[in-house]
Amino acid sequence: MLALISLFAAPAFAQNTNTPKIDQRQVRQEKRIAQGVSSGELTAKESANLEKREAKIEADKQAAKADGVVTKQERAKLRHEEDVASRRIEQKKHNARKVTP
């Protein structure tokens, strides 16, 4: 009986470190940066700064996962960081600076 109870209780104590939406968004933003570089919309310096921002978000995500649970507040912080990064990518891609071949 105890084994049966522990079998059903285990999912309740499962550690939730999944961040699929954040992971997908990171991939999309990396693609946006790469596309900006290939089209000449982003300079080397701009893309390097955007990549640093993405690396910081990844480090924050790993720190959030470190204790085994990504809390609602941690997810909100990561979403906010992604929002800021997204706006920054948009601004940098559509400013007047262009890379000339």
Note the pLDDT tens digit of each residue in 54-92: 999 999 999 999 999 999 999 999 999 999 999 999 999
Query: Per-residue DSSP letters for the chain?
Result: -HHHHHHHHGGGG------HHHHHHHHHHHHHHHHHHHHTSS-HHHHHHHHHHHHHHHHHHHHHHTTS---HHHHHHHHHHHHHHHHHHHHHHTSS-----
What burial class does residue 17 get, using C-beta atoms within 10 Å of its C-beta: 0-12 exposed, 13-18 middle, 19+ buried? middle
Number of domains in the chain: 1
Residue 30 burial (10 A CB sphere; 0-12, 13-18, 19+): middle
Q: Is residue 67 included in any domain, yes or no? A: yes
The reply to whether 2 falls in a domain is no
Q: Does residue 12 belong to any structural domain of this protein?
A: no
Task: Say if 59 falls within a structural domain.
Answer: yes
The verdict on residue 33 lying in a domain is yes
48 is a domain residue: yes
Closest to 58 (Cα-Cα) out of 19, 14, 16, 31: 19
pLDDT category, 98, cuts 50, 70, 90? Answer: confident
pTM for the structure as a whole: 0.79
**Structural domain boundaries, residue 70:** 27-93
Whether 71 is in a domain gets the answer yes
Give a yes or no: residue 10 inside a domain: no
For 7-63, how does the pLDDT look when each residue is reduced to its tens digit (9 = 90+)?
Answer: 454 444 445 778 899 999 999 999 999 999 999 999 999 999 999 999 999 999 999
For tokens 């960081």, the residue is 81
